[in-house]
Structure 1
Amino acid sequence: MHEPQQFHHDMFHHAGVRTHYVTAGTPPADTEDGRTIVLVHGWPQTWREFRLIMGPLAEYGWFVVAPDVRGAGGSSKPEGGYDKQTMARDLKALLDHLGVTKPVTLFGHDLGMLVTYAYATLYPDDVDRLIVAEAPIPGTKVYESVLATTEFSKDPLWHFHFHGAPDNAAEQLIAGNEFAYIRSFYVKLSANPDAIPIPEAEHYVADYTAPGAMRAGIELFRAFEQDARDNQRTLADKGKLGIPVLGIGGTASFFLPVAEQMLSEVAEDVTVQPIEESGHWLAEEQPGKVLQRLREFTRVPA
C-alpha cells in the first residue's frame, strides 16, 4: 500500500536517541488554532498502524504526529530507557522540536497507551485530551487482576509473562520464527484476520527483525515493574488526571469490560466507547469507526 503524498518522514536526535516520525497536515505555527494530535503505536507495530486515519485527521484540520517509539521502526534501539516515563520524555522533546506549544490531544494504542498516559501524568498542562486503547495500566488494581488470569487458553495477556522472562529467554525462543510469532498476534487478536494483510505484516516483521529491534520491543514489557512503581508514585503525588479521558476498545477484545474501572482509578473524567466489529487492532480493523469516536470526543466536525 502506497502512502499518501501528504505524509512527511523525518528524524529527530535528542539525548543520544534517534526518533523517526511521520507528520501530516499543517504545522501548528502555520495555523490559527494550532491543533495537534499525537498518535503513539503499540507492540508489535510502528507508526504505520495509523496510516489509514492520519490523512483524514489532517483533513479535519489536525497537525498529526506519529513517531516510532524508541526501539521500534526507524528509531534507534538503545540498551535502556524503555520505562514509559522515559519514553514520554522522548515524546516531549520531539513536540518541543516541532514547535508545538498548545496543549495536544494524545491517542495511544496498546503499549503506546502507557506512554501517552505517562506523558499526561508528567505534563498535565500540555495535554488537552487523552484517548487510550487496548492495554492495562501497570500499577492499577485492574492490571494486577488481569495479569492474575491462570487459564492460559483464556489469557489475552499471556505474552506479558513470556516477554518478562529473565535472561533473554523470549528473544532466544522467538529467533528464527519471527514472522509466524508476530503475525499470530495480528490474527488471534482481531475480529477480522484480514485487517492486517500479509504485506503489512511483512512491513512490521521487517522492522522487528532489524538488529536489536526484538530485544527492544521485549524490553517494553520488562519495564512494567518500573512503570507500576512510577505510576503509583505519580498518582500518590499528583492525584488523578483532571483532563477528559476516552477509552476505546474493540467489542471482540478484552479491554472494554475492564476499561471504565481501570481508567477511573487514574482519571476523574472518563468515557468509554466501543469500536464495533473490531478486535485489538482498532485503527486497521475499523478506521472509520475510530475516526468517528475521535471526532465525537474532540468535538471536531467531519
Structure 2
Amino acid sequence: MNEPAELDLPVEGGTLRVLRFGEGPQTALAAHGITGSGMSFRAVARHLPDEWSLFAPDLRGRGGSADTPGPYGLDRHAGDLCRLAEHLGDGRPVALTGHSMGAYTALKAAARRPGLFNRLLLVDGGLPLPVPPGADPDAVLDATLGPALARLGRTYGSDEAYVDFFRAHPALGPHWNADIEAYVRYDVTGTPGARRSKVREEAVRHDGRDLLTSAGSFGAALTGLGVPARLLHAPLGLLGQEPPMLAASVVEDWTGGPGRLPAELVEGSNHYTILLGTAARTVAERFVALGG
C-alpha cells in the first residue's frame, strides 16, 4: 500500500502531525492509544473503501507531535480532535474513531461537539474503568501498561534492536506483519547508537492519570451521546492474554440493553491486533456500516 502523506495541521498553541491515508472525499478522523501514533491505523485505512480518506493525528507528546507543547490531558486532546474535524470537514461532519486512550478522547470530542461528527466507533476503550479506592494512578499505570511504558525510558543501539524489542512483545510477536513493523519503525528517533521512542513519558503519565480518575466524565458522555456509536472490544488484553482491556462486567454495564451502546466482541484479537492484525478488516467494515 502507499505510505501516508504527512501533514502539519493547526491546533491551539502549535500544530499536530497528521497522517493521511487515502484520497477519497469521505473523511474519517482516528485517535490512537496512549503510547501509540497515527500509524496504528495503517491496516484499518487499507481496508476502507476507495472513497474514504482517514486522517490519523499523532497526539501531543507522540510521533511527529512530540514537541507540540502541553498541557496534556484528555480534554486537551479532545479539543484538538474538534479543531481537526472543523478543518478537515469544511462544514460537513466527519466520521470519528479511537482506539484505547484514543477511544476516550474521541468520546469526549463527540460529547463536546456532536455536530462535528456523524458517527463514533470506540475500539477497545471508551468505557469507564474501575479503579480501586485509594489506588495510586502511577502504580496502576506501571502494572497495566508494562512493556509499553518500559520502552520509553530506554535507548537502543539500532532501529533493528528497537524492532526486536517489539517482536518479543507477547501480544505482537506471534502476529508480526508489515503493519506492525511500519508502526514500530515510525516511532523510532534519536541519534545513531541511542535510538528511542518518540513518545514522551510525561505525556503518557499525565494522560494515564487523567484517564484513570475521570470515570464519571466518561459515563456522562456515554449517557448523553448525540451521535451514532458502537463499541468493538477484544477478548485478550495488552499482553495478548486474559484479562481483556475492558472486563466483561464493564462491557455488560454499558451495552446490550435498549438505548445502550451496541457492542461486538472481535474474536481472536488482542488489544493491539484488533487494529494491527487481521481484525482490522472488521474494524473498517463496522466503521463504514455505522453511518448507514
TM-score class, shorter: 0.7 to 0.9
Select the residue among 252, 255, 263 that pairs with 2:236: 252
- Separation in 2, partners of 1:227, 1:43: 10
Please list, as runs of the form range in 1=range in 2, the aligned pairs for 1:279-290 lying within 5 A after superposition: 279-281=270-272, 282-286=274-278, 287-290=280-283
- Separation in 1, partners of 2:204, 2:290: 29
- Does the CA-based 8 Å contact 1:22-1:47 persist in structure 2? yes
Secondary structure of 2:175 counterpart? coil
Kindly state the Cα deviation for residue 201 of structure 1 after the two structures are TM-superposed: 5.8
Letter in structure 2 aligned against 1:4: N
Select the residue among 175, 178, 187 that pairs with 2:169: 187
Select the residue among 261, 286, 290 that pairs with 1:293: 286
Letter in structure 2 aligned against 1:285: G
Select the residue among 101, 106, 124 that pairs with 1:134: 124
Kindly state the Cα deviation for residue 248 of structure 1 after the two structures are TM-superposed: 1.0
Query: Which string of whole-angstrom CA distances, capped at 9 and with x for unpartnered residues, describes residues 231-252 of structure 1?
Result: 6357559953243321112233
Please list, as runs of the form range in 1=range in 2, the aligned pairs for 1:165-180 lying within 5 A after superposition: 174-176=153-155, 179=162
Say if 1:230 and 1:196 are closer, same or farther in 2 by CA, change over 3 A.
same
Asked if 1:88 corresponds to 2:73, the answer is: no
Letter in structure 1 aligned against 2:155: G
- Separation in 1, partners of 2:221, 2:285: 35
Select the residue among 223, 227, 241 that pairs with 1:243: 227
- Separation in 2, partners of 1:63, 1:195: 23
The residue number in structure 1 matching 2:87 is 97
Q: Which one is further off, 120-129 or 230-239?
A: 230-239
The residue number in structure 1 matching 2:130 is 143
Kindly state the Cα deviation for residue 270 of structure 1 after the two structures are TM-superposed: 0.9
Q: Which one is further off, 99-108 or 19-28?
A: 19-28
Kindly state the Cα deviation for residue 122 of structure 1 after the two structures are TM-superposed: 1.1
The residue number in structure 2 matching 1:277 is 268
Letter in structure 2 aligned against 1:189: A
The TM-score normalised by the length of structure 2 is 0.73
Kindly state the Cα deviation for residue 275 of structure 1 after the two structures are TM-superposed: 1.9
Kindly state the Cα deviation for residue 12 of structure 1 after the two structures are TM-superposed: 1.5
The residue number in structure 2 matching 1:10 is 7
Percent of aligned positions that are identical:
19
Structure 1, unaligned stretches of length 5 or more? 29-34, 164-169
Kindly state the Cα deviation for residue 194 of structure 1 after the two structures are TM-superposed: 1.6
Secondary structure of 1:293 counterpart? helix
- Separation in 1, partners of 2:187, 2:133: 28
Kindly state the Cα deviation for residue 84 of structure 1 after the two structures are TM-superposed: 0.8
- Does the CA-based 8 Å contact 2:154-2:196 persist in structure 1? no
Q: Which one is further off, 82-91 or 95-104?
A: 95-104
- Separation in 2, partners of 1:75, 1:38: 16
Q: Which has the higher helix share?
A: 1
Kindly state the Cα deviation for residue 25 of structure 1 after the two structures are TM-superposed: 4.2
Say if 1:249 and 1:234 are closer, same or farther in 2 by CA, change over 3 A.
closer
- Separation in 2, partners of 1:176, 1:26: 37
- Separation in 2, partners of 1:198, 1:8: 18
Select the residue among 17, 21, 39 that pairs with 2:18: 21
Kindly state the Cα deviation for residue 81 of structure 1 after the two structures are TM-superposed: 2.3
- Separation in 2, partners of 1:133, 1:205: 21
Say if 1:77 and 1:147 are closer, same or farther in 2 by CA, change over 3 A.
farther
The residue number in structure 2 matching 1:32 is none
The residue number in structure 2 matching 1:48 is 39
Letter in structure 1 aligned against 2:131: E
Q: Which one is further off, 46-55 or 18-27?
A: 18-27
- Separation in 2, partners of 1:105, 1:26: 15
Query: Which string of whole-angstrom CA distances, capped at 9 and with x for unpartnered residues, describes residues 129-176 of structure 1?
Result: 211122364xx3x4326997xxx9xx998235999xxxxxx7798323
Say if 1:225 and 1:173 are closer, same or farther in 2 by CA, change over 3 A.
closer
Q: Which one is further off, 173-182 or 40-49?
A: 173-182
Task: Give the aligned CA root-mean-square deviation in angstroms.
Answer: 4.1
The residue number in structure 2 matching 1:167 is none
